[in-house]
Amino acid sequence: MSSCPNVNSREWKNLVKAVGGFEALRDFMESGDIRTPGVVQAKLDQREKDELDSLNQTTPSEPGVSDEFPVVTLESSAMNQRLAL
């Protein structure tokens, strides 16, 4: 296992082309190897799915996600106070 990828290798160039330099280097640091674009993209897709799933699991009782602070529009405010628009 090397500490840096061989940036001149065909495998590295293909990976960078497929997922970008940042993600290619991040995967190399995590795995210690230059993996195929398909494997890295599958990991990235799973990571994104997991993040979306965790966001969708928020409940209304959590601060900042609930209806604790109702949205007041000009129209609703005017109707409640019987003001002309």
Q: Which H or E run contains 40?
A: helix 37-56
Distances (CA, A) of 24 to 9, 33, 49, 51, 75: 13, 10, 19, 20, 50
Structure tokens that stand for 50 in this block: 């997991």
pLDDT higher than threshold 90 for residue 85:
no
CA neighbor of 5 nearest in space, from 18, 82, 21: 21
pLDDT higher than threshold 80 for residue 16:
yes
pLDDT tens digits along 41-72: 999 999 999 988 888 876 555 555 555 555 55
- Rounded Cα distance between 25 and 10, Å, is 15
Mean pLDDT score of the chain: 80
Q: Which H or E run contains 42?
A: helix 37-56
